[in-house]
């Protein structure tokens, strides 16, 4: 399929982005119910561990989507202006979240703390890492386009080794470059855009669930603490760059990126979610604080929250989605009036 054909909006990438948004909200569930401090001794905890590993593909999926859509971006004003709506969303929603957290948990953020957390991206860490990748995109693209197909393949293999091997095989690969995983996933997304691979959906599904089951087994069988061990086959800071997570991310992406979604209403919904995915990420943290402050009144152990997942995650997602639509509408109007509007 040519780039001319791609100008007609594809529903597949919107579906991938929607899945990634839901996975992000799903990951927040684990942080809010105390999962990481609970013993992995019940069937419910086994299932939750498997789902947790699946949800870990969320952030890598966003980076693959960035590569898929921005692999031809040049160093021009239009590229950098696309940052304006994201920065506005980050600043405004993050400040609102910190004010809300002060109301719920007591005073945590004064003016100084607010400024510090905005500057170091502690209130929304993804913004910091995406900003760094965004600034590099024109240069990554020029280097990528200068390589022939064989050289691109070798680069992907090299980056895979540098970014993902260490968390799984700590005595084989060094850890120095694990933080480069956003570049790896960006280039994987660019590769899918350029080559449009056709893979067996059945095979991709089998590999996806096979790896998730393997991750779950290792997490439960070989934990030294009885609880989830971040450093077993990943690291606290490099979990998204795990070799297993990379395999699962690619499987999810190729399963759905070329999906032909039928139904105008469904396509419109997926497109709508995709357009405000960043704001959903920001707003969901605020709604999580409200929702789980209430839920915790009724659970004593994380395993007791098992069934709450099917209520809290959809509720947080829907609330964040609606808030994001309203917020983005207001921002777009303001930017249009000021002449700063930019197409992402």
Q: List average pLDDT for each run of 10 residues in the chain, which is 344 residues long.
A: 53 96 96 93 94 96 97 92 91 94 86 93 92 96 96 96 82 81 96 93 97 96 90 76 93 94 91 95 94 89 92 97 94 76 49
Residue carrying structure tokens 């540098």? 162
d(CA 296, CA 279): 26
Question: Could you identify the residue written with the tokens 């299932």?
Answer: 47
Report d(CA 103, CA 97) in Å as an integer.
10
CA 63/CA 282 separation, integer angstroms: 17
Cβ-count burial 301-312 (b if 16+ within 10 Å, e if not): ebbebbebbeeb
Q: Tell me if residue 335 falls in helix, strand or coil.
A: helix
Report the pLDDT value the prediction gives residue 287, as an integer from 0 to 100: 95
Q: Per-residue pLDDT tens for 10-46?
A: 899 999 999 999 999 999 999 999 999 999 999 999 9
- Give the start-end residues of each E strand in 204-264: none
Q: State residue 106's pLDDT score.
A: 82
Owner of token pair 């994201």:
86
- As a whole number of angstroms, the distance between CA 283 and CA 344 comes to 20
Q: What pLDDT score does 343 carry?
A: 47
């Amino acid at each position: 399929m040519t780039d001319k054909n791609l100008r007609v909006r594809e529903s597949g990438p919107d579906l991938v982005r929607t899945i990634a948004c839901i996975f992000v909200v799903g990951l927040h569930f684990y942080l809010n119910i105390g999962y990481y401090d609970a013993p992995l001794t019940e069937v419910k905890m086994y299932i939750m561990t498997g789902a947790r590993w699946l949800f870990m593909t969320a952030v890598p999926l966003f980076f693959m989507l960035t590569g898929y859509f921005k692999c031809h971006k040049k160093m021009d004003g239009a590229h950098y202006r696309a940052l304006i709506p994201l920065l506005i969303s980050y600043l405004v929603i993050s400040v609102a979240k910190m004010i809300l957290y002060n109301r719920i948990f007591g005073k945590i953020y004064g003016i100084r703390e607010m400024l510090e957390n905005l500057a170091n991206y502690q209130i929304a860490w993804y913004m910091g890492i995406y900003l760094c990748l965004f600034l590099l995109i024109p240069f990554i693209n020029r280097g990528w386009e200068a390589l022939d197909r064989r050289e691109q393949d070798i680069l992907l293999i090299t980056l895979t080794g540098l970014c993902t091997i260490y968390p799984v095989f700590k005595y084989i690969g060094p850890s120095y470059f694990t933080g480069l995983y956003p570049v790896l996933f960006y280039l994987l997304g660019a590769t899918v855009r350029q080559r449009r691979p056709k893979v067996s959906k059945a095979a991709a599904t089998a590999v996806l669930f096979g790896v998730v089951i393997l991750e779950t087994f290792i997490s439960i069988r070989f934990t030294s603490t009885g609880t989830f061990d971040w450093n077993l086959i990943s690291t606290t800071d490099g979990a998204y760059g795990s070799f297993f997570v990379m395999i699962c991310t690619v499987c999810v992406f190729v399963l759905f990126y070329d999906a032909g979604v039928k139904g105008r209403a469904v396509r419109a919904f997926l497109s709508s979610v995709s357009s405000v995915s960043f704001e959903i990420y920001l707003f969901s943290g605020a709604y999580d604080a409200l929702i789980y402050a209430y839920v915790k009144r009724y659970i004593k152990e994380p395993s007791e929250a098992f069934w709450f997942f099917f209520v809290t995650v959809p509720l947080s997602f829907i609330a964040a989605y609606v808030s994001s639509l309203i917020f983005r509408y207001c921002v777009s109007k303001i930017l249009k009036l000021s002449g700063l509007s930019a197409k992402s």
